[in-house]
Amino acid sequence: MPVLDISGLADDFNENPFPHYARLRESGPVHRVKTVDGEEIWLIVGHDEARQALAHPDVLKNWQTTGLYAGRSTTTSLSTNMLRSDPPHHTRLRRLVAGEFTARRVEALRPRVQQITDELLDAMEAAPDRRADLIRSFAVPLPMTVICELLGVPDLDRESFRRWCTEVVAPTGEEAEAAALRAMSGYLSGLIGATRERPGQDLLSGLIRARDEGGDRLSPEELTGMAFLLLLAGHETAVNMLGNGVRALLAHPDQLAALRADPDGLIDGAVEEMLRWDGPVESATYRFARADLEIGGTFIEAGSPVLVSLAGADRDPARFAEPGRPGPEAFDIRRAGQSHLAFGHGIHFCLGAPLARMEGRIAIRALLERFPGLAEDPEAGPREWIPGTLIRGVKRLPVRW
């Protein structure tokens, strides 16, 4: 199969990757491409093929277990987490964490999520010029406060976490990324030590105490890696779920009007469509073929890097073309089902999906109820997009009301 060079499309991909994914899908669900950094990878843009790859036992997350890529950087404590592991290690970690990150614990957060939301909207409403950057004023502090309180991270450290997380998901340079990882690792190690001495009812205390039936527990490195993953995934993705969702609604006045008219009946579907149409994770993190395999009729040789485009898969007409409904390129909050891949698929399906859905439903509904005249600020200038193909979103979202 010929290699498609997409290295020159970085700016276009940041702003609007969907036409590029559509053109790729028209000629097949799986492509050999050359990325911006010059690496040749397999890119999957079809929905069924994406599901197959995400659940395939020979498509692994930990490159070290493939016996390949000896030149890659070594594993650190931050990467000792579920996202970077495969069975049976992944099975063990997920079992220990899932025992503490329960539906009951998440549901108990509902009143607090509503309270934080209302307080942030109170502060926005007090702005004398009726303008705000929705990312800074609302989309960042809501999930950041929730995940930090859930884990037991002190108030004064949250600004640092925001800076570190931003650098990790969209690095400005190798040295800056390495510095952020070192700072986060050092802080989390200290936090875990302090929590051991003074445990509470937070999730981190629960993870420290957690043991399975055989007495197995998380090691210090695994605790650090798990705290890192929960903070990063529980914060950065939720920020852009809210930002992208509000942008989608404001760009589709008919859908916004329908949601305002029937929030009880449509808020759940609206959040699902926000996740499908322009979700916060554009591509799943890299996977690696452990053996020769076939996906979508395409042969992928052992050792190949595999990148699954969630954004491409979630607009695949083969899956989202419903009779009597608009096509997958349309934003339609009445679209049936929750078969999108915004939270992944298979053993790495997002553990925090229930919390993200709760935050989205509470936050979007409250925002629209509080500001009936909400609109993007026409005087704000051009949008600035988060670089790369991992996280999809804008750095600022100036609005007025």
For residue 200, the enclosing domain spans 4-400
Query: Would you state the pLDDT for residue 131?
Result: 96
**pLDDT on residue 71:** 45
pLDDT of residue 156: 66
| C-alpha dist (Å) from residue 69 to 81, 252, 263, 290, 305 | 20, 45, 50, 12, 10
Quick: pLDDT tens for 318-332.
999 888 888 999 999
Mean pLDDT of the chain: 89
pLDDT for 288 beyond 80: yes
Residue 97's Cβ-side half-sphere holds a number of Cα atoms within 13 Å equal to 23
Q: What is the pLDDT of residue 65?
A: 60
Structure token digits, residue 161? 């976490």
Q: Work out the percent of the chain whose per-residue pLDDT is above 90.
A: 62
The answer to whether residue 142 scores a pLDDT higher than 90 is yes
Specify burial of residue 19 (Cβ count, 10 A radius: 0-12, 13-18, 19+). Answer: exposed
Provide the pLDDT for residue 210: 85
Cα 18 to Cα 283: distance, rounded to the nearest angstrom: 12
DSSP 87: T
The whole-number pLDDT of residue 338 equals 65
CA distances from 362 to 127, 134, 270, 278, 292 (A): 22, 16, 12, 19, 45
**Residue 70: its pLDDT value, please?**
44
> What b/e readout covers 185-198, taking b as 16+ CB neighbours within 10 angstroms?
bebbbebbeebeee
Between 143 and 213, the higher pLDDT residue: 143
81, pLDDT greater than 50:
yes
Q: What is the pTM of this model?
A: 0.92
Is it the case that residue 1 has pLDDT exceeding 70? no
Contact 217, 96 (CB under 8 A): yes
Partners of residue 294 on adjacent β-strands: 299
Q: Which two tokens stand for residue 279?
A: 């979700």
Among 207, 243, 233, CA closest to 350: 233
Residue 77 has pLDDT above 70, yes or no: no
CATH classification at residue 217: 1.10.630.10
Which residues, listed in sequence order, are joined to residue 60 by a DSSP beta bridge?
A: 288
Q: What is the pLDDT of residue 277?
A: 97
Q: What percent of the chain has pLDDT over 70?
A: 92
Instruction: Give per-residue pLDDT as tens, 191-205.
Output: 899 999 999 999 999
Whether the pLDDT of residue 172 is over 90: the answer is no
- Tell me the HSE value of 91 on the side-chain side, using a 13 A CA sphere: 3
Q: Give me the amino acid identity at 183.
A: A
- How many separate domains does the chain show? 1
